[in-house]
Amino acid sequence: MTRCPPRPSSLRGGPFVPHTLDADAVRTWCGLALDALGRARADIDAINVYPVADGDTGTNLYLTVESAARAVDAAFDGHATSAAVSRPTLADVVRAMAHGALIGARGNSGTILAQLLRGMADVLADGTPDGGPGEDEADGLRRALRRAVDLAYLAVAHPVEGTVLTVAVAAAESAERATGDVATVARAAYEGARTALQATPGQLDVLARAGVVDAGGYGLVTVLGGLAQALSGEAPAALAPARPGRDALAPAGTTGGRDLAGCSTDGAPDGGPAFEVIYLLEADDTAVTALRQRLDALGDSLVVVGGDGLWNVHVHVDDAGAAVEAGIQAGRPYRIRISHFDGAAVRKAGADGPDRPGPAIVLPDQSGAQPPTGGPRAERAPRAVVAVVPGDGLAALCAEAGATAVATCPGEPPASGELVDAVRRAHAREVVLLPNDTELHHTAAAAAAQARAEGVRVAVIPTRSAVQGIAALAVHEPGRSFDEDVVAMTSAAGATRYAELAVAERQSWTMAGVCQAGDVLGMIDGDVAVIGSELAATAETVLDRMLASGGEMVTLVLGADLPDEVAERLERHVREGHFAVDSVVYRGGQPTAPLIIGIE
């Protein structure tokens, strides 16, 4: 069953109840921040010129927060399935958030963000219990932001002003000056960070030359906006353009308004380090102190974050082997990723993939695992389709059509890493990705960016339902050009209207009026349009409404428990009431929606 209407998620920007600074607020914050970064990801990538102009800061921040959000969801799920059926505390959730960000941190800015979240968790986990006085919560947030800044500066070997660090300092200082409840403090932190972001081009010449603000700082402001919204229930003021007054920003002796494509360096001298090296490291504090010194002598952009025996190491070097060797001497490095800034990327087996373009090869696993052996890999197929589907029946249908299916479970949407793994399994030079869910569009975009970094050409078709994916797959033709195939598939998906039948779990307001628990809801294009008491009759009403505006083909996808008799009744209804309209039935096996309808 599903809630009535579909969960009024903060991710859709709808109204929701403001939170105190508790476990639920942190979960909401992670969801809002992830959604906002998904929308801003491409813009942040486009303005990424420091410390390396490699256009992946937005993607790296998205993947870092995605890992944090999944860890928070896991904390809630773990308590929900425990014998006591308890709820996690604020301490449980912030520690999970910090750990998730640490193990999922990507790139320079993602690694620093992970340390900022760890600093906040240090204070919030030891602060006032859930439900404490509002003023105590406000003071806890002030102290958490200050601790975050202090830890982040300790993690960066050579801090640079005009970066995400500067924006973080402004957020902490603004929070300290603010008076009022925790929501007021969060809004002040956001506004202070937003103001500081606009000033970054005046602090870092490379930003001024490119006419952009700092990409990492832009990402941090986006994350803080999610916190402010989670605590106040109100969306924060929109960010100013990422390219403010470009001519006005150009310092003396430079040319303003220059395109990013013309920005040949990242602010470092030409001939800077050739490789980015990232790995997780199990080591004690003493060994990490020595590691910092050794890596600092090897390269630059050194950031080492973490603690309690687990660290995330990030450095830019010319000798990637020496950087990995230093980690081996300090402890046990794993999830090793090495990226060449000219485009050749190297990936450790089992990692989520490199952050930059280039072919991937396997590095030996220092934990003792060996890379796979055997004959040469099979030649890549010219093209493949990867489709996310909500049931085993649909997964089998996609497999029969030659697609790689990613079957989802209720309440467990796939992460971008899972979609990247599916792209890898497809083993093709070109891949069409069908998310088949509006809420997976940002995740699919991030996965596509990762796959492109591994040399795969990927196009995401923004399908919103499994029936749109079926329509797209039906016209897929590997023999034509990639662009023509994508256009045809996109057109077929866009020409398919969709509906879903669900059962209300509780009384609620909907677009069609008030529903009661147990009512059958007919949702057309995502909105509740029909409320009924019996599934087949409600489905007939939905079909009549949709076919009133025309249609040639009706697709019925049956849920796991829907009897075949219902499908037969609906097919008969279409045949008798709508001449020249064909119908097709699939046993989808989806566990949540009893029936999905498509009209082409």
Q: Residues 440-478: pLDDT tens digits?
A: 888 888 888 888 888 899 999 989 999 999 999 999 998
Quote the pLDDT of residue 367. 37
- Those residues whose C-beta lies under 8 Å from the C-beta of residue 252, and which sit 6 or more positions away, are none
Question: Long-range contacts made by residues 268-271, C-beta under 8 angstroms, separation at least 24?
Answer: 268/51, 268/52, 268/300
Quote the pLDDT of residue 283. 92
| Residue 9 predicted with pLDDT over 50 | no
Q: What is the pLDDT of residues 71-90, one digit of tens each?
A: 998 888 776 655 455 788 99
| From 108-112, 553-557, 560-564, the region with the lowest mean pLDDT | 560-564
Quote the pLDDT of residue 351. 34
- The single residue listed with the structure tokens 């064909």 is 582
Quote the pLDDT of residue 564. 87
Q: What is the pLDDT of residues 335-394, one digit of tens each?
A: 888 777 654 333 333 333 333 333 332 343 433 333 333 444 567 888 999 999 988 888
Mean pLDDT, the chain, integer: 82
Quote the pLDDT of residue 127. 67
- The single residue listed with the structure tokens 């991030």 is 446
Q: What is the pLDDT of residues 389-427, one digit of tens each?
A: 988 888 888 888 889 999 887 777 888 888 988 999 999
Question: Per-residue confidence at 249, pLDDT binned at 50, 70, 90?
Answer: very low
Quote the pLDDT of residue 441. 86
In sequence order, the β-bridge partners of residue 385 are 432
- Those residues whose C-beta lies under 8 Å from the C-beta of residue 30, and which sit 6 or more positions away, are 65, 68, 69, 72, 97, 226
DSSP H/E element including 305 = strand 299-307
Question: Per-residue confidence at 246, pLDDT binned at 50, 70, 90?
Answer: very low
Quote the pLDDT of residue 79. 67
DSSP H/E element including 310 = strand 310-317
pTM of the model: 0.68
Quote the pLDDT of residue 348. 36
Q: Which residue has the higher pLDDT, 343 or 119?
A: 119
> If we measure between CA atoms, which residue out of 596, 507, 560 comes closest to residue 5?
507
Bridge-based pairing of strands 404-407 and 381-389 is parallel
Is-contact 551 600, C-beta < 8 A?
A: yes
- Those residues whose C-beta lies under 8 Å from the C-beta of residue 506, and which sit 6 or more positions away, are 3, 4, 517
Burial class (CB in 10 A: 0-12, 13-18, 19+), 268: middle
- Three-state DSSP at 171 gives helix
Quote the pLDDT of residue 434. 95
- Mean pLDDT computed over 528-557: 91
